């Protein structure tokens, strides 16, 4: 009797889940279009109520037997296994997700390169890697943010046209995207180099993946302030320096400044120099000037601090650099006094809106690079500081 009861309950449950549809793999199917999609949709949420429930599974069952019609957006949400076709398998997955037995995950995409430096007239083909390959061969959509700088075709081949920076974006069928920053230079004398800047806030980094992604250099935070050297050393500085250099990523360092006068800035330089001892690196040692209180100081005071830091670095045999924003550089730095130092400009406009000279351009705070999780700052260097 118990065995019969269990079998009866199982059949009844199957009837509830699959009423009016065929559950075999070769049953009813609905194609999912490979159209541009909103990344924000919840996979499995067909009725758009903000959660995945048994009602979503039932709605798909009805659509499979043509008792209701789904919009293209609903079809995207219903494609639980992300294979480009809706079947009763998706309905079963939706039911399991509603019961908390599985988590539905949208297919993601990565590019083999997140940065590329191309000479005008040259080309490179970018390759995608999907977390789950679609079986129906849906093609990705490729775009260039500045096609006058570099264009991209339907196969991911990027052709460099003229000097500048552009973002190549690939979007797959479910709306997920990946990007590659392409910097185009006119001739060998003006070649550019792609970089990132990192600190403990970026977490653990797979530097081999970073290098393979097309990153040439990294500016690594060594510390901040100067009140407590032991406590204000970046907790991942030594890990990052060793990892970057071992992977063939050229390295430089920056020190986040809290200095309020030239004496404190000089002390910060001594702190930074104590941390870089023993490392064979080629990129500059930079003071990071971006605190809001700098706006309450005079141009002379801020410049005095920059000079004090840079002179200490220069005397120690390293290449000094000043990092700051375009607005601070224009309003709080006396450029006539810092001509002997490198300038690292933070300007999120493309192209940069600063008319003066600069040697590294930080152009994004929201970059994505293989080997890191989350956003990372992206940079372009206009000088070859490296050994290559």
Q: Which pLDDT score, from 0 to 100, does residue 386 have? A: 83
Tokens for 116, please give them: 């590329």
Q: Do 285 and 273 contact (CB within 8 A), yes or no?
A: yes
Whether residue 95 contacts residue 348, with contact meaning beta carbons closer than 8 Å, is answered with: no
Give me the architecture of the 193-381 domain, per CATH. Alpha-Beta Barrel (3.20)
User: What torsion, rounded to 10 degrees, do the Cα atoms 359, 362, 367, 368 define?
Assistant: 40
Distances in Å between the Cα of 306 and the Cα atoms of 38, 329, 357 are 46, 11, 17
**Which residues in the chain are classed under CATH 1.10.1330.10?**
16-98
Instruction: Report pLDDT for 39.
Output: 62
Q: Which CATH superfamily is domain 16-98 in?
A: Dockerin domain (1.10.1330.10)
For residue 27, the model assigns a pLDDT of: 57
Query: Residue 26 CA to chain centroid, in angstroms?
Result: 40
- Residue 18 has a pLDDT of 39
Residue that has been written with the tokens 């709080």 in this structure: 332
**The pLDDT value given to residue 157:** 98
Q: Where in the chain is the domain with CATH 3.20.20.80?
A: 193-381
Strand partners, 198: 220
pLDDT of 136-166, one tens digit each? 677 889 999 999 999 999 999 999 999 999 9
How far is it, in rounded angstroms, from Cα 67 to Cα 259? 70
Residue 175: per-residue pLDDT: 87
Q: Residue 34's pLDDT is what?
A: 60
State the pLDDT at residue 8: 38
pLDDT tens per residue across span 193-247 = 999 999 999 999 999 999 999 999 999 999 999 999 999 999 999 999 999 999 9
What pLDDT is recorded for position 37?
A: 55
| Alpha-carbon span 172 to 131, nearest angstrom | 11
Rounded CA-CA distance 213/202 in Å is 17
pLDDT < 50: residue spans in the chain: 1-26, 388
Check if CATH label 2.60.40.1080 holds for domain 109-184: yes
Token pair for 42: 């919840």
The number of C-alpha atoms within 13 Å of 187 and in the hemisphere containing its C-beta is 1
Cα of 309 vs its chain's centroid, Å: 31
Alpha-helix runs per DSSP H in the chain: 2-18, 54-64, 72-78, 88-98, 207-212, 237-246, 262-276, 299-315, 326-332
Contact 141, 171 (CB under 8 A): yes
Task: Report residue 256 as tokens.
Answer: 């986040």
Residues of the chain with CATH 2.60.40.1080: 109-184
């Amino acid at each position: 009797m118990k065995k019969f009861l269990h079998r009866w309950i199982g059949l009844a449950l199957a009837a509830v889940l699959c009423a009016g549809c065929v559950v075999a793999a070769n049953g009813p199917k609905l194609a999912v279009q490979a159209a541009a999609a909103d990344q924000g949709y919840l996979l499995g949420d067909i009725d758009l109520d903000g959660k995945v429930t048994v009602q979503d599974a039932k709605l798909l069952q009805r659509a499979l037997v043509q008792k209701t019609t789904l919009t293209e957006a609903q079809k995207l949400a219903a494609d639980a296994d992300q294979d480009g076709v809706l079947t009763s398998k998706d309905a079963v997955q939706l039911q399991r997700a509603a019961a908390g037995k599985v988590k539905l995950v949208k297919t993601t995409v990565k590019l083999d390169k997140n940065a590329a430096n191309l000479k005008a007239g040259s080309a490179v083909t970018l390759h995608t890697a999907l977390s789950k390959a679609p079986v129906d061969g849906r093609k990705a959509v490729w775009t260039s943010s500045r096609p006058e700088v570099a264009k991209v075709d339907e196969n991911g081949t990027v052709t460099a046209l003229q000097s500048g920076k552009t973002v190549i974006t690939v979007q797959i069928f479910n709306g997920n995207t990946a990007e590659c920053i392409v910097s185009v230079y006119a001739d060998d004398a003006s070649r550019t180099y792609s970089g990132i800047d990192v600190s403990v806030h970026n977490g653990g980094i797979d530097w081999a993946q970073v290098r393979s992604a097309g990153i040439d250099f990294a500016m690594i935070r060594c510390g901040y302030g100067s009140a407590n050297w032991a406590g204000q050393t970046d907790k991942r500085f030594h890990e990052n320096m060793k990892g970057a250099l071992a992977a063939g990523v050229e390295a430089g360092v920056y020190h986040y400044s809290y200095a309020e006068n030239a004496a404190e800035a000089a002390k910060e330089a001594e702190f930074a120099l104590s941390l870089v001892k023993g490392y064979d690196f080629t990129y500059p040692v930079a003071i990071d000037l971006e605190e809001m209180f700098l706006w309450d100081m005079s141009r002379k005071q801020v410049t005095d601090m920059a000079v004090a830091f840079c002179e200490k670095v220069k005397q120690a045999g390293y290449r000094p650099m000043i990092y700051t924003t375009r607005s601070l550089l224009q309003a709080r730095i006396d450029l006539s006094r810092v001509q002997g130092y490198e300038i690292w400009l933070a300007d999120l406009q493309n192209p940069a809106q600063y008319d003066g000279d600069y040697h590294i351009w930080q152009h994004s705070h929201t970059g994505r690079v293989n080997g890191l999780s989350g956003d990372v700052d992206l940079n372009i260097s206009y000088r070859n500081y490296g050994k290559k």
